[in-house]
Amino acid sequence: IGDCKSLRERALSLKVTSLKRWQEEHQRRARLRILKGVSNIKTADVYKDALQGLEYEYELIDDKERLIQESLEMSHCVATYATKINSGQCGIFSIMYEGNRYTLEVGKVDKYLCSIQLKGKFNAIAPEQLQYKVNNVLLKDLLQTV
């Protein structure tokens, strides 16, 4: 009931009789309440074309609602990265690979962009092949100077 009040939602029906359903509803509302404090985001221009040339479908996450959606659907904490995104420390991407979605944090080391972390649902480790392809695209400028 407290979660419903803070989210300004209609109260949960008292007809719910399953303990599992009560737990699911509580978890959903608790996550929403926590994420309610996520600030609007503005991704730095340097990240906008970071994955250009990647052969897999990807999306730059560049608004608050999409960041929260990614966090909820992937069951990880990427929504807490709003401050890092706004300060230009990182850009967040969603990548589709072999029917699964992965979340990529891209950051800067010196003047080069690199993969900070690439995670699947529940922070699962991404396949090596995907990590390799992402790193090749991000580090193409560095690799050309070597």
Task: List, for residues 105-123, the tens digit of each pLDDT value.
Answer: 999 988 899 999 999 999 9
**DSSP-derived 3-state class of residue 68:** helix
Q: Provide CB contacts within 8 A for 142, sequence distance 6+.
A: 112
Q: What is the pTM of this model?
A: 0.77
Question: pLDDT digit string (tens) for 51-81?
Answer: 999 999 999 999 998 998 898 899 888 988 9
Q: How far is CA 18 from the centre of its chain?
A: 31
